[in-house]
Amino acid sequence: MFGNSRLKKIIESSFGHDPQRGIYYYNAQNRLDDVRILHDGMSAADDGSWEIDDITWDDLEMDRVFLRINHTNSFVGEQTLYHKLHVLDKGRNEVARELTERRLEYLETHPKERLEMEMRLCSLGKASDGYQLTDFMLNTDVWKIGNTVVYHILQLILVVMIVLTIIFHNPVVIFGMVASALVNLVVYIFTKQKYDMYLGSLGDFKRIYEYSKWMDNHFKHQEIFVPDAVKVALGNLAVMSKAIVGLNNKRQNSMSGDAIAMMFDYVWGIFLIDISAFNYIMKGIEKNLDDVFLLIDYVGEIDSEISILSYRKSIEKWCRPEFGDGESTYGNGSIHNSELTYGNDSAKKLVGKNILHPLIKNPVGNDFSMTDRVVITGANASGKSTFMKSVAINAILAQSINTCIADEFALQPMQIVTCMALRDDVLSGESYYFREAKYLKRMLDLIDKEDSVMIVIDEILKGTNTKERVAASKAIMNYISAHKCAAMVATHDNELTESGLYQKFYFTSTMKNNDIVFDYRIHEGNCAMSNAIALLDFLGYPSDIVAEARGYVGDET
């Protein structure tokens, strides 16, 4: 397979390009449910990492961000990348981050080695069964076929009956031997379909083991690629790996239709050897589960890192983020020696230059700096929501894959939580306002427990009447300001900008030649303009409606 010139051309032509524009091989849209299995099965991190919750993930359209980054060649790489984008390491795991960057630098400067890695990763493939591997490995008790002791007793009875038949040649004993063989054969036939299905997952792990072994042999002198823990795991799992090979080879020979192979399959079945071997393997997995998952994580990490490198190559602009110490200052006092300095203002939580949205073609970049809390006002469709998403997504990418879509980006490590893309839920009976209030409550609960949080709220409490919306919004924003979190709040209610507790920014629009023009630039200060009525006029609403609306607000333009 590794000499397949067509596969080589596909990989070479796809690397460094948008994977969504490639062939179906790289299209993960139709298998997202399978891709999520590993992440959904992961327990909460016990290393202090933060996890992006489902609401924030959906608000920021992170499935689309994942699909844009995803250049992986294997099911395990795809699942690892998806999970990686959910987990923020607080920006403090500098050793792991630098190790990743060293591997990426090697892969970038050694394209032949990277190409061979990718071709071998393709042997793992993205068949649907593979995505169940981690679930399979975590539930070996469920997948074991019956009670091992019972199978051993049946095997022993058959062996005893065969020995007695040889010694005595007694018809009764012969009948007992035949009866024992038939019982074992029936047991084998009824269990064969079950363990055949599970052998597929064992085969997937075998390929992961073989890839890890190849990496160990090929990069024996490159410690950045093969840590000692991987070498130890390979040694611990060597015997189990050979057992898996034996079972899989026998299964493939039997499925090939070869008469002799099929005959031996049933002979082995009568002695229940395959079932015993399968249960032996499952016990081995239980005993060495940490080593099993270490190799799964290892191969997934290599594949996901190649994907990150491809993503960086596929975009015009990106940077590595800088991280503060999580409390006050930003390391060297500047980002890449630019004018964006930190030493003079230790309270800054996030600073960026030419911040872009990763999913927008020809996006408008914005420079932005926030100390703690900001409120953003502005005209409809002027770019408020897109800008806030750009900042939040880049904060996630910084802390998950050490990559930002900007000229420069620095932040104090923060958990990101949003309340943006809301709608009524007809099935649950929850109104827009009820869902928004519930989502906002989860934010308030979080900042009560955690200081390092950035909350992003788009159009706070717009699901209720103006008087109560403004009153409740003021109370919520005041509550937020009493905490150490960072906050970005967008609103059309200028009353919410009066307190002075939030730094003010705005987006605007202008009318030119009977057209509405947006510059999509963020400006510091407060915007008293609105384009709601101008939009009606632009869309061709009856002049009576437009004139009457302007009259209500005292606008004679």
Can you tell me the distance from the alpha carbon of 312 to that of 292, in angstroms, rounded to the nearest whole number? 31
Can you tell me the distance from the alpha carbon of 252 to that of 262, in angstroms, rounded to the nearest whole number? 10
Report the first-to-last Cα separation within the chain, whole angstroms: 71
Tens of pLDDT, residue by residue over 451-498, are: 899 999 998 887 667 788 889 989 999 999 999 999 999 988 878 888
Which burial class, exposed, middle or buried, applies to 93 when counting CB atoms under 10 A from its CB (0-12, 13-18, 19+)? middle
- Any idea which of 19-33, 68-82, 493-507 has the lowest mean pLDDT? 19-33
The whole-number pLDDT of residue 342 equals 40
Tens of pLDDT, residue by residue over 266-323, are: 777 788 877 777 778 888 888 899 999 999 999 999 999 999 999 999 999 999 999 9
Q: Where does the pLDDT of residue 22 fall: very low under 50, low under 70, confident under 90, or very high at 90 and above?
A: low
* DSSP-based three-state secondary structure for 147: coil
Higher pLDDT, 191 or 455: 455
The whole-number pLDDT of residue 330 equals 41
Can you tell me the distance from the alpha carbon of 306 to that of 311, in angstroms, rounded to the nearest whole number? 9
Q: Which DSSP string corresponds to 272-320?
A: THHHHHHHHHHHHHHHTHHHHHHHHHHHHHHHHHHHHHHHHHHSS--B-
Q: HSE on the CB side for 401, CA within 13 Å?
A: 31
Max CA distance (Å), the chain: 115
Q: Taking residues 44-59, what's their average pLDDT?
A: 82
Domain 318-526 in this protein, CATH class: alpha beta
Can you tell me the distance from the alpha carbon of 194 to that of 200, in angstroms, rounded to the nearest whole number? 11
Q: By the 8 A CB rule, do 275 and 153 touch? A: no
Neighbours of 175 (CB within 10 A): 12
Tens of pLDDT, residue by residue over 127-170, are: 878 898 888 888 776 666 667 788 888 889 989 999 999 988 88
Residues carrying CATH 3.40.50.300, the chain: 318-526
